[in-house]
Chain A
Amino acid sequence: MDRISIEIVRRRTTAGDTPTQLDEELHWRHMIGNLGNKLGHSRVLYGGFLLSAYTMAELGELRYDSELSFKSLSTSGDHFEVQDRTLLARIKETIQNEMECQVCWGLMLDPLTTTCGHSFCRRCVARLLDHANSCPLCRKQLSIRPGATEEPSNQRLRALLESLIPDAVLARAEVVEIEESTTSDRGRVPLFVCGLSYPETPTFLHVFEPRYRLMIRRAMSGDRKFGMVAYNGRGEVQGDLGITQFMQCGTLLHIESMQLLPDGRSVIQTKGVSRFRILDHEMLDAYYVGKTERIDDIPIAAEEALEAAEISRFTTQASDPGSPNRLLSAMSTAELMQLCADFIERMKGASASWLASNFLQAYGDMPNDPAVFPYWFASVLPISEAEKYRLLPTTSVRERLKITAGWVRKVQGMSLGGMAPSANDDDSDHNEENDSQEMPDVTESTDRANLPTNGPSALT
């Protein structure tokens, strides 16, 4: 505000002409009950309407809620209008500069004023809180709840901005909207690099890294979706992407519920929506955003044709239903499903630890839908991540069931009461420390996501 008075005082020295008659019209509240002084002030001042009104207020003769009527007494014509226009333009420019947020260096968007008296965009305060709890200007403790959603806006600043420079406010809001939009329907998916998730299956996450707090907050204010991708722990080439930090295929998750903790961390429960393949990726405020394509199963007719073609390649001998070593490719899709279902039944009977009630509580009982069953199976069966990942790029139910039936065969081939099985001998070394099931209340956590950031040393 100081800048505005400086601007006005500067103008005043050159504005001795253009006399204006100003009459204060009091608000009715001041006209009743105060009979002695029911008239407003009247004055002749100089320098156009704006400047003279400012001068009048400065003289203490203009109440906050009064109306003011103007009459130009200028003999030289309408010079005052030019003066008003240039002054207004200067004030707008001053305000635009003054109202720059010290965090994003843009025009303050939905300004929020802290108890220490400093103002920032609401979204900038939310980001500050992801990292620290102090004012960036004076370092005083901020008493604002994480997310900064409950604090009231600074209505005065907001009104000032919206009445004086509405175009600039609108333009800024649009830029921010574009900068932050990563809605999944446009194929741009924010990526949570953590572990494996599957469609139709719940994933529980503990969110504490600042970048993911921001990502989840943005998802919550949008379509509540984000992509989950596992770490590329072995540094394998991911198709056209080359060697990326994450695996190329992942699962789009929908946030079902979110519990925000007082310190800004949160616990979220999600459910898998669909699978995707990442075609391209970039960074947005320290997290990855992927351009993705959906991975869908082939239509049922094609699925049936695939099944028929595959089975017909085998002789009746190889597909003898009585043989325990029958080739999986020779089995019908229904038989593959049955093989898995029987196995689950037997394991339940044997009280397998991975079918303990707490896991079933989190992931539900075995689904009978053969399309979904493999995802549930992968969620509860303790085998390597690399093995489970094979489910994500599949395009048919049959393909997935052959993978899971392979797991069954592998587990059965191991001695009873043995260690956690691995379906593939080459993959028997576990690449992630949490291959073994954690308790389902916090199955994933972003603490594994702390990789070294790119610094100068990484670039040289």
Chain B
Amino acid sequence: MALPKRIIKETERLVAEPVPGISAVPHEDNLRYFDVRIHGPASSPYEGGIFKLELFLPEDYPMTPPKIRFLTKIYHPNIDKLGRICLDVLKSNWSPALQIRTILLSIQALLGAPNPDDPLANDVAQHWKENVTAAIETAKEWTHKYATDTAT
């Protein structure tokens, strides 16, 4: 099946004008499936880490949002053990005027501003609320352990 014009254009623009700190590359055999890498934002516990995600554009995209999850383990109150992300624009606040680029930017922003009041990973959120310093320390450790070149 031919890919909708919009998906082709989005992919072209992602390549032509990449977002700093973000890359999204479609699979050769499935152009709706992207390998995504997001650099942890500066002065966040995720700084220095490169996080892998998978992104899939469903058949009725952009009427329905892309499906996306973290593949790299991450310690974050809004991201659960399975890598699922709690982000309103990926669910009820999705709009067809949004795009892959804006969604990835939102995820990058979420790394810079964890929100323990709207948690997906309850135990992490709890930790975040009770002892921010310790939680951030754990997030840094995980970043070093799972999201850097030395990580295996």
Interface residues of A (CB under 8 A from B): 102-106, 124, 127-128, 130-131, 134, 136-137, 139, 175, 179, 210-211, 282-286, 453-457, 459-460
Contact = CB atoms under 8 A, between A and B. Distances in A.
Given A104-B4, A106-B6, A460-B54, A285 B59 contact: yes
B69 A456 contact: yes
6 contacts: A104-B6, A134-B95, A179-B2, A286-B63, A455-B58, A456-B55
Given A103-B96, A103-B97, A460-B54, A286 B6 contact: no
A211 to B, nearest CB: 6
Given A102-B97, A105-B6, A105-B9, A456 B56 contact: yes
B59 A453 contact: yes
6 closest cross-chain pairs (CB), A and B: A286-B60, A286-B59, A136-B97, A105-B6, A455-B67, A282-B1
Contact of A175 (B5, B59, B95): B5
B9 A454 contact: no
Contacts of B10: 105
A136 B62 CA distance: 11
Contacts of B95: 134, 136-137, 139
A457 B96 contact: no
A459 B29 CA distance: 12
Nearest to B30: A459
Contact of B60 (A103, A105, A211): A211
Contacts of A102: 96-97
A104 B64 CA distance: 13
Contacts of A127: 63
Contacts of A460: 54
Contacts of A459: 30, 33, 54, 56
B60 A210 contact: yes
B1 A137 contact: no
B67 A104 contact: no
Contacts of A175: 5
A105 B13 CA distance: 12
Q: DSSP class of B's interface residues: helix, strand, loop or mixed?
A: loop
Contacts of A456: 33, 54-56, 67-69
B50 to A, nearest CB: 19
Contact of B5 (A105, A137, A139, A457): A105
Nearest to B8: A105
A172 to B, nearest CB: 9
A139 B93 CA distance: 9
A264 B46 CA distance: 45
Nearest to A285: B60
A128 B59 contact: no
Contacts of B68: 456
Interface in B63-100: 63-64, 67-69, 95-98
A283 B1 contact: yes
B96 A128 contact: yes
A137 B97 contact: yes
Contacts of B64: 131
Contacts of A106: 5-6
A40 B30 CA distance: 63
Interface string B96-132: 1110000000000000000000000000000000000
B124 to A, nearest CB: 21
Contacts of B55: 456
Contacts of A284: 1
B20 to A, nearest CB: 23
Contacts of B97: 102-103, 136-137
Interface in B1-19: 1-2, 4-6, 9-10
Contacts of A128: 63, 96
A411 B34 CA distance: 56
Nearest to A130: B63
Which of B33, B59, B67, B96 counts the most chain A CB atoms within 10 A? B96
Nearest to B82: A457
Which of B1, B10, B56, B97 counts the most chain A CB atoms within 10 A? B97
Nearest to B99: A105
Given A102-B97, A104-B6, A179-B2, A286 B67 contact: no
A124 to B, nearest CB: 8
A375 B96 CA distance: 44
B94 to A, nearest CB: 9
A216 to B, nearest CB: 15
Contacts of B30: 459
B56 A454 contact: yes
B148 to A, nearest CB: 23
Given A104-B5, A105-B9, A283-B1, A131 B63 contact: yes
Given A103-B62, A105-B9, A285-B60, 7 more contacts: A103-B6, A104-B6, A136-B95, A139-B95, A211-B59, A286-B58, A456-B68
Contacts of A179: 2, 4
Which of B9, B63, B68 counts the most chain A CB atoms within 10 A? B63
Which of B10, B58, B59 counts the most chain A CB atoms within 10 A? B59
Nearest to A137: B97
Nearest to B69: A456
A105 B4 CA distance: 10
